[in-house]
Structure 1
Amino acid sequence: MTTAEHLDTIDRLLAREFPAEPVRTGDGSGGPGFHLVPLSRTRDFWEDDGSGRPEAVEQISAEYGAVVQAVTDRWGEPQVFGLGTVLERAFEGEGIAEPWNELCDGTDHVHLWRVGERWLVVCVTQWHGEGPYLLTAGATVIDPP
């Protein structure tokens, strides 16, 4: 997908109503007060010798940079919010609200913009170390923890 297509997806995401109950589909996840969707993905690395990983990281990083720049051009400088301490708090048993609990399990930081009443989140996530890298966007009314 192109950066313009990613921005179109983000615009729809920011306008979409939130589900009343938690949902998870092939197109992402959502629940009361949030949506998370993958904008782009690399292949997974479950049965890989790791040789394709550097190219995948380079590709998803380039897309991430382009989306962050396009969103910055539209809504101004982002906040970069670290999720390391949020993950530690979750491991210690603190209940972390979604989408932050899901995000801290897949990335160490996110880029955040305030767009009206919502937070726009953009990041690269990867779960389990062998799954695909996902360029992820989210919209939420739930403040970062």
Structure 2
Amino acid sequence: MSSAEHIATIDLLRARDFPEAPGRSEAGHAGPGFHIAELATFETAGDDDGTTRDAMEEQYEAERDALTVLLTERWGEPHIIGLASAFARAATGSDDVPEPWASLSETVPDVHLWQAEGQWIALGVARWGGWRALQLLAVITKIDPP
């Protein structure tokens, strides 16, 4: 997908109501108060020596950064928020990290974050399964970050 298509997905989800129950959506995953769009997904083969994964990680971070430039034109400079402390609290069973932030913190080390019109918009790169899979994610939520 192109940056224009990613922005269109973000705009579509910003205009859409949040579901009452968590579940899959055509864009990724959604639940009460949030949408998570899976903008791009890459999975390595079991025999990958890491070269392809490293190149794709750089590409996904570059795509996130390109989207950041476009969204910065709309909403100003983003906050860069690390999610390690949210992950640590969620992993110990603390209830003070709400969704979507608890799930997001499991795979996304940091997000580029804006607040606009009562919603939080976040971009991040998720690393799954020992970094064998990567996803470029956009999150639209009314739930304050931890």
The answer to whether TM tops 0.5 is yes
Give the secondary structure class of the aligned counterpart of 2:115.
strand
TM-score using structure 1 length: 0.92
1:125 maps to which residue? 126
Gaps of 5+ in 2: none
1:56 maps to which residue? 56
TM-score using structure 2 length: 0.92
CA contact (8 A) 2:44 2:53 kept: no
CA contact (8 A) 1:84 1:104 kept: yes
Q: Which moved more, 1:36-45 or 1:6-15?
A: 36-45
1: CA distance, partners of 2:99 / 2:11: 21
Aligned residues: 145
Aligned alpha-carbon RMSD (Å)? 1.5
2: CA distance, partners of 1:116 / 1:25: 23
1: CA distance, partners of 2:26 / 2:10: 17
TM-superposed deviation, 1:24: 2.4
TM-superposed deviation, 1:11: 0.4
CA contact (8 A) 2:111 2:122 kept: yes
1:8 maps to which residue? 8
CA contact (8 A) 2:53 2:132 kept: no
**Runs of 4+ with deviation above 4 angstroms:** none
CA contact (8 A) 1:45 1:132 kept: no
1:83 maps to which residue? 83
Q: Deviations over 1:45-71 (max 9, x none)?
A: 444232312211121121111011111
**1:27 matched to 2:27:** yes
Q: Which moved more, 1:41-50 or 1:96-105?
A: 41-50
